[in-house]
Every structure is written in structure tokens, then in C-alpha cells.
């Protein structure tokens, strides 16, 4: 069984922690992840994600520094 990370999850603007580990995710990380301004911890380990790390992830680092 495989799963994908829907881009709609990035609408959770106040979400601070996102842990989706060992969930058999097999798609790309949505680029809109950078819009999750409150996110301080992201763990997507032990999955089968494809593609590259989206540029939006760099926005998360900027939020952490402020």
C-alpha cells in the first residue's frame, strides 16, 4: 500500500509539527510547503518520496530564523 501527501495539507497554516514517518509516501513534497509559516519541525523520514526537495522548504528555514 502506498500513499501520497496531498497539497491541501499545506493549508494548515498554524501547524507547528508535522511527523509523517514510515507511512509509505511515494509522491513529491508539495512546493507549497513553504507557505506553512508556523511549521517548526518537519519529519518525513522512512518514506519513498520522489523528486527533489522543493524550493519552498527554504522558506521554512527563513521563518525559523525570525
- Does the predicted model carry a pTM greater than 0.85? no
Q: Give the pLDDT of the chain (66 residues) as one tens digit per residue.
A: 678 888 788 899 899 999 999 999 888 888 888 888 888 888 999 999 998 988 888 877 655 554
Q: How many CB atoms lie within 10 A of CB 33?
A: 22
Q: Is 41 helix (H, G, I), strand (E, B) or coil?
A: strand
Nearest 5 degrees, angle CA 41-CA 4-CA 20? 30
CA dist list (Å): 47 to 24, 26, 34, 63:
5, 7, 20, 25
Amino acid at each position: 500500500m502506498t500513499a501520497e501527501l496531498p497539497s491541501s495539507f499545506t493549508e494548515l497554516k498554524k501547524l507547528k509539527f508535522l511527523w509523517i514517518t514510515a507511512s509509505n509516501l511515494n509522491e513529491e513534497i508539495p512546493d507549497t510547503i513553504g507557505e506553512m509559516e508556523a511549521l517548526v519541525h518537519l519529519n518525513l523520514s522512512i518514506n519513498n518520496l520522489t523528486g527533489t526537495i522543493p524550493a519552498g522548504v527554504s522558506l521554512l528555514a527563513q521563518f525559523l530564523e525570525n
